[in-house]
Structure 1
Amino acid sequence: MKRAGVDVFEEMLRGIPEDQRRIASRMQYEIDRCFYHYGEQFRYPREGVMRRSLRAVVRSLRATIAASRRRRACGDGLRRILSTAYCEGGGYHLLDDYLRLAGFHAVAPVWEPSWHRQIVSVNGLFRVVRKLQNMLERGSAADMLSAPTFTLAGRLDSLLEDLIREHRLHGLLVASDMPFFERSAIEAFRRAERPTVLFLHGLPGRYAPPDDDRTDFLVVWGEKIRDLYISAGFDGSKIRVSGNPMLNHKPPAVLRCSTDDVLVLTKAMSGAQNSDRIRIPDRTRCVVYLLMVQRVLQRRGVRGARLRVHPSENPRWYERMIGTGFYSVDCAPLELSLRRATIVIGPASTVFLHSLWRGVTYVVFEPTYQGEDFFSMVPPAPFDGSDARVPVAHTEEELERLLREQPKTDPSILSEYVRIPFDISFMKDIVP
């Protein structure tokens, strides 16, 4: 599927043989990062990846050693599945515990080692993975589209088939279907006629195939999320609803709502393109968003607020760009941060759910121009103002009115976005 707009990725693929184009298509996410994921704004910008790669090697080795010392026994009757999936806020081990109850033993691939999972490999796989990781993390776009990289990718395909066969893997679970290794594994399991499953770990920021549509099955938190995917053209028969074990209880009926302790979330910019359309982001709008919120709060008599950045962002960059006179960076665990907050202001975010579940009002602020947000995206429901149960502000004036009138989100909407109780018993049917 070609993306709308001028696409450097498509231009670089011109003249490449068809068999190599098939491999190159899996690198779209990483090649995009060469052109878009740079600068101090990001926590790990691509130009600083050499130091991060060293940490990744150490992490891989330490996790491998730890796993070899305390492997979790597979047990009789449990089916092995290769997994990079996790529960948002609960890590790998929480999902794995539920998988064991459903009859599965999750094991980790060498490109995504885990302290809590047995790591499986075959002879030669770790070496090939490390070479490809170095190329994808440090190399240029031209390096990625070179003959040596295509040779390594072909070798990876063969080794993944060996991995599936030797370790008797029944299926694949992934947290994303965009990165190279996940896409390679999805294709390998498909060739082996083994099911693949994408476990979403948050509220989608968009509903646009082919992203989230490359696996055989898609697992989402709630019925409303499934309906939104179907409305976007996804096949409803492949979507399953699980809930979220971190939000596995009834939310409070009364929400805190005052400006005594304001928590503001950043409007984060992506470091890669989506697969449906080229969008050229302007990072200054990350700052503009916060200045708009600051002006409104100051008009309401608020002297300062806590600022929580997206995990992909560098909080020091924000401090240098906007100073520390009004905002103070909050790096506490999310649960502790929400526990002390009396109101949260932010864009479309999974924190919307966590905030309401912890009894604090979340005010949605999504400045839009001609129906699109600061980064040329259409805010998804319920952040687009289409549901009267969720108050949404699109301008400073609307945000000030919401803070003055203090309308609260209707709690009835939460059961539509998160099923209770958490249940993945359907895994027995889709991964035989």
Structure 2
Amino acid sequence: MKIVSLARHEKASLSTRVWWWFEALPKRLTAKVIETASNTKKLAQDDPRRVTHSLKVGLALSLVSLFYYYQPLYDYFGDAAMWAIMTVVVVFEFSVGATIGKGLNRALATLLAGALGLGAHHLANLSGHIGEPILLGLFVFIQAATSTFVRFFPKIKARYDYGLLIFILTFSLISVSGFRDAKILDLAHKRLSTVLIGGSSCVIISILVRPVWAGEDLHNLITLNMEKLANFLEHPSVIEYFKKSENGDSNDDKSFLQGYKSVLNSKSNEESLANFARWEPCHGQFHFRHPWKHYLTIGTRTRECAYRIDALSGHLNSDIQAKPEICSKIQEAWTTMSLESGKCLRELACEVRAMTHPSSAKPHISKAKIAAKKLKLLLKSSLWEQDADLLAVIPSVTVASLLIDIVNCTEKIADSVLEFASLANFKSVDPTVSPEKSLVGQGEPDKPLT
């Protein structure tokens, strides 16, 4: 009896659990729908250009689909019109530069591979019925092996990898299908025509309908990265670090000073945007042969500075703090270096964004270098002989050395921006210089720190 009652109880509990699951299903579905809608809304609000891009792709596909819907066009192109639709799907990218780059890669690769495929088919046809498939197989092997190996070159892979893939595909399609199809020339012509139509539709819509320029995104990314470093260096928790250590208040939560971390991983994004920007026509303030490559130089030096800041942040958040006696002696130089380096980076970011010749950043870097020299002299003096505890000295020396290194990195960034301004023909603006800045700018020549 106990076994029977236990089985009935388990059966009842199972049916109860199933009932509860079905009863809670509408609530779970409603919560999932609300969550999806919230994520969709946030995604669109973070960058409204995503919505515009989606509509542009839909518009391009609708226009190209007319080759299927409109009977006269379909009578001419036939099923080859599908290549135009496929071209839109694979070519249309978020930015104008990426779309033009992919479109040109696809068009040129199709043209070149089609011509070579026709040539290979003609040569193989001259060898007779027996030798034709052997030669075609040999040609396909040679071009596929060569093109695949060329893709390993870094510069080729960065700009022409997609074109090489299309080259391999088109050459193989034209040369191999020509063995069974007598209308090989018509096949090559229709494929090239539909690819050009699809690619042209993508480029035209991408440029004319609310264009997204990779060059502008790269320009804004570089300036934003410099501002993130400036935010760290100008933050009160960093500027008053030694003052807080001196007062014994060193346990503040500095976890919010993490904005600079995105700069550490920005290399791939910068390289992609610079590659896309090279394909774009003149627009806005970006003229023909704009020095896009120099953005990468500024970005590299900005990341070098971010790595120093990352190391400095680790020491600032360390449990080992400097002794109050030492803090009071180097607080003034520390504050000046951190604050002026941050101001310099912020001024450089503003001038690059406005594309004006950098001038207002020079007084800040001069002040930071003067403070750095004073701090270096202090580190070399007999200050540390008063304290026999080496562990108490190391934290102060470490963070001071890192900040001196950050000043050097800031100066390198300023030099890169100055060179970039000369190459890009930035506008010259006569800033209103305060007497204090004039005295600082004239009193100390700019020499690299050693």
TM-score, structure 2 as length reference: 0.24
| Structure (1 or 2) with the greater helix fraction | 2
| Structure (1 or 2) with the greater strand fraction | 1
Q: For the pair shown, which has the larger CA radius of gyration, 1 or 2?
A: 2
TM-score, structure 1 as length reference: 0.24
